[in-house]
Amino acid sequence: MVLSFDEYRDKLLGCWVGKNIGGVLGAPFEGKRQVNQIDFYAQDLSNGPPPNDDLDLQVVWLAAVERYGRQVNSAILGEYWLSYVIPNWVEYGTGKANLRAGLMPPMSGMVDNTYRDSCGAFIRSEIWACLAPGHPEIAARYAYEDAVVDHQGEGVYGEVFFAALQSAAFVERDKRKLIAIGLSYIPEDSAVSRCIGKAVACYDGGVEFLEARRQIHKEAPGTFGVQSCPIGAVPREDPPLEIGRPGYDAPENIGFTIAGWLYGEDDFGRSLCLALSCGEDTDCTCATLGATLGIISGAKAIPAKWADPLDDKIVTMCIDKTSGGIWTPATATEFTDRIMGNTPMFLGQKYCDVLNRNGYTVSCREGQDLYCQVPDYLPFINGGGKSSLPTVKELCTRSPYVVQYDFPAFHVEVDYEGSVFYRQDEPRELTLTVINDIAMNEQQWARVAFYLPQGVEPQTPVSFLLPLNNLYKSKAVVKFAFVASAAAAPKLELLADISLEGRHSSGPCKITLMCEGQS
C-alpha cells in the first residue's frame, strides 16, 4: 500500500492535535481515583492550553533522530535524557540516576526502579509510529529502545504495543485488527495483554462501562490514583478497588484507554471522555487515545469543538531550553512538518519515493505483514540475509541484565547474569556474545580481550579468539570470571575490547558493576 504525501500529513497532524487534546482534557484529573463525569475541557483555555508533558518528551526524541537518524538507540536516547529532560519524577529520575552511575539500558530502566511498570513510556509511542507509518515492526523496535531507558517489563510492553498499533493505524482502520497487531508484538501472558483482553471481553459481553472499569482494575490493580493519599484516606468505592503494588500502573491504564476506544463507538469526544471517566492516569490515557484516533481519522475529521479551543498550540514543560540544541515547536503543525522532513531519511529510499512530483510517498506494509513476524529457520543453516538479531517480541522477554552494543560489522551482548552487583572475594561470572552482522556476509574470527582494574583477578583467560560464522543463529560466546578483593573499588569498570581478525573493525564495551552492600 502507498500512503500519499497529503494523506500522511493529515494523519500525522491528526496524531499531534489528538494527543494535545487528550492531554489537556485529562490533565486536571490526573492521579485521582474517582469516576469523572466530564464532557468537555474543565480548564479556562482563553489564554491557550496548559503545558503537556505527554507530548513534549517526543520533541526531544525527534531532535535525537535529526542528528543520528536510524542509528538512534537506547544509549543515545539516554544521553538526551541526561542533557535535555528536566523532570526527575519517579521512573524518569531513577532511569537518569542509573545512567549517571554508568548502568546502560536496559539495566538503567530496571535497577531499583519501583515505577518500571508505570505509564511514562507508553505516552512516548507516537513519535516512532509517525516516523515509521505502516511499518509497525520498525516503530516497535525503536519504541523498545526508548522504553528500556527508564522502564522494564509492563512499562516497556505498553510503549511497544501502542507504537505498533499506531504505526499500523496509518493504513488500517479496524479497531480489532489494530489491537491484535499491537498485541502480536508483546508477550501474550503480560498484564498489559490481560488488561486489553479484559476490556475487549467486557465490551463484547455487554458489560456496563463502569463495571468494565472495575474488572480491568481487578485484572492488574494499580496505584496511580491513590499515590497522594494516606492509606486511611484512600477514596472508597463500593465495593472498594484493590490497592496494587506501587508503580504498577501501565496495564490497567492501557486497559482503560482501550475500553474508552471500544465503548466510544468511533465518537472522538465520547471515547476520550469515557477513558477520562476511569480516573487514575487520565492525561496519559486520554492523550494516547486522542493520538490514536487522530491517526485513524486524520486532522480534518477531528471535531472543531475539541480542536479550536487549543488553536493548534503546543506548550512544553519538560525540555531544558537553557542549554541549546533542542528546537521546540509552537504548534502541532510545526511539529508535524518537522517530522515529515525526517521521515524519508529515517525510512530510507526502500520505503520512501522522494521523487514523486506531488510530494514523497510512503510504501507501507498491509494485511498480515503488519503483525509481528517471528521467523523460524533451522539453526546454523545458510545465513542468506536472515537476521540473527532478536525480534521485538523476543527483546521484550529478554533479561533486562543483557546489554547490547552495535558496531558496523558485529553486535555484542553482555549478560550480567541477573545482577549489577558483585561480592568481594567471591567469583563473579559474565557472558559475552558476539554476533556477526549478516549484512557483511563473511565468516570472521573474533578476538575478545578483557582489561581489569586494580584489585580484580581473572579466573579465566583474559583473551579469547573464537570463530564467528555467518550462519543463522551462529554466535561466539565467552564465559569470563573474576574475583574482586577488598582492594578493588566499590564500583568496578571492566573493559571488553572486541575486534575481528584481519579487519580494522573493533569496539569497546564498558562493563559496570557495584559492590553489594557498599556505596
Q: Residue 442 belongs to a domain with what CATH number?
A: 2.60.40.10
Same domain, 23 and 102: yes
Q: What CATH code is carried by the domain that includes residue 235?
A: 1.10.4080.10
Same domain, 409 and 313: no
Same domain, 322 and 419: no
Q: What is the pLDDT of residue 235?
A: 81
- CA–CA separation, 47 vs 98, rounded Å? 39
Q: What is the pLDDT of residue 518?
A: 56
Residue-wise pLDDT tens for the chain (519 aa)?
A: 999 999 999 999 999 999 999 999 999 999 999 999 999 999 999 988 998 888 889 999 999 999 999 999 999 999 999 999 999 999 999 999 999 999 999 999 999 999 999 999 999 999 999 999 999 999 999 999 999 999 999 999 999 999 999 999 999 999 999 999 999 999 999 999 999 999 999 999 999 999 999 999 999 999 999 988 888 888 888 788 999 999 999 999 999 999 999 999 999 999 999 999 999 999 999 999 999 999 999 999 999 999 999 999 999 999 998 877 788 999 999 999 999 999 999 999 999 999 888 899 999 999 999 999 988 899 999 988 888 788 999 999 999 999 999 999 999 999 999 999 999 999 999 999 999 987 777 899 999 999 999 999 999 999 999 999 999 999 999 999 999 998 888 999 999 999 999 999 899 999 999 998 754
Same domain, 268 and 125: yes
Same domain, 320 and 437: no
Say if CB 222 and CB 251 are below 8 A apart: yes
- In which order are the strands placed within the sheet that holds 444-451? 421-422, 506-515, 491-500, 444-451, 463-468
Which amino acid type is present at position 467?
P
Same domain, 338 and 398: no
In a domain, 79, yes or no: yes
Same domain, 334 and 415: no
In a domain, 113, yes or no: yes
Q: Which of 277, 312, 347 is the last residue of a domain?
A: 347
Using CA atoms, how far residue 168 sits from 59, 69, 184, 377, 458, in Å, is: 22, 21, 12, 26, 50
The x, y and z cell numbers of residue 38, run together, are 466530564
Q: Which of 347, 363, 382 is the last residue of a domain?
A: 347
In a domain, 376, yes or no: no
Same domain, 163 and 300: yes
Q: What is the pLDDT of residue 249?
A: 98
Cis peptide, bond prior to residue 453, ω within 30 of zero: no
Burial, 342: exposed, middle or buried (Cβ in 10 Å; 0-12, 13-18, 19+)? middle
Q: What is the pLDDT of residue 287?
A: 98
In a domain, 356, yes or no: no
Domain of residue 441 covers 394-515
pTM for this entry: 0.96
In a domain, 8, yes or no: yes
Torsion of CA 395, 397, 398, 404, to 10 degrees: 20
Q: 269: alpha, beta or left, given left = phi > 0 and alpha = psi -120 to 50? A: alpha
Count of domains forming the chain? 2
Q: Which of 318, 347, 376 is the last residue of a domain?
A: 347
In a domain, 210, yes or no: yes
Q: What is the pLDDT of residue 191?
A: 98
Same domain, 340 and 441: no
In a domain, 389, yes or no: no
Same domain, 314 and 408: no
Same domain, 278 and 423: no
Number of Cβ within 10 Å of residue 333's Cβ equals 17
Going along 342-452, which residue ranges are E strands?
Answer: 352-353, 361-363, 402-406, 410-415, 421-422, 427-436, 444-451
In a domain, 372, yes or no: no
Same domain, 117 and 261: yes
CA neighbor of 84 nearest in space, from 241, 318, 383, 399: 318
